[in-house]
Copies of this chain bind each other. A is one copy, B any other.
Amino acid sequence: MDRKQKKTRAAIFAAFSSLLAKKSYNRITVQEIIDAADVGRTTFYAHFETKDDLLKELCEELFGHIIGSAMDCAHTHGLYSDASSPDSVFCHLLQHLQKNGSNILGLLSCESNDIFLRYFKNSLNDLIQNQFLQGKPPKLDLPPDFLINHISGSFVEMVLWWIKGGMKQTPEELDRYFSVVLSSVL
């Protein structure tokens, strides 16, 4: 009895995401989620303790995938192994976002996107930290954790800017912007 569970879980996730596109997180009620997902009240609370819990689990599911994929990519290619590498981890991430198989883009552009940015940036921090530990020392006397924070933070800010502007640039273009931005610290 796992297919049924997965199905309702997915229905709740879908309904929740769809609602987030329309109104802010705070003004979404459990009742609305239930109605949109067409599940019973009891069922909702059997799956999730609370609305905040639903939010957390949705984030973990979505960002877990994208970061996991990037982790693999980083392991084989390196963060920015050579400066002009056509497939840096960052480019890979951007392409992954553009493909939009998941609805991460929807969440990052909704009214309550700030909730998701924390998850996104924290995930990126882990990713970049892993890469730094096995990389060469930075060329400047900036604290390592400052650097990690700056890189992941800048990346998230760039993605936000990209989305807000209608995603008019290709991932490759953005990757070039980002390599310029990072050239003073890497």
Contacts and interface: CB of A to CB of B under 8 A. Distances in A.
Nearest to A25: B26
Contacts of A185: 180-181, 184
Given A180-B184, A183-B184, A154 B158 contact: no
Interface of A: 26, 52, 114-115, 117-118, 140, 142, 145-146, 149-150, 153-154, 156-158, 160-161, 165, 177, 180-185
The majority secondary structure among interface residues of chain A is helix
A120 to B, nearest CB: 11
Contacts of A153: 153-154, 156-158, 160-161
A31 to B, nearest CB: 17
Contacts of A118: 114
A129 to B, nearest CB: 13
Contacts of A177: 142, 146
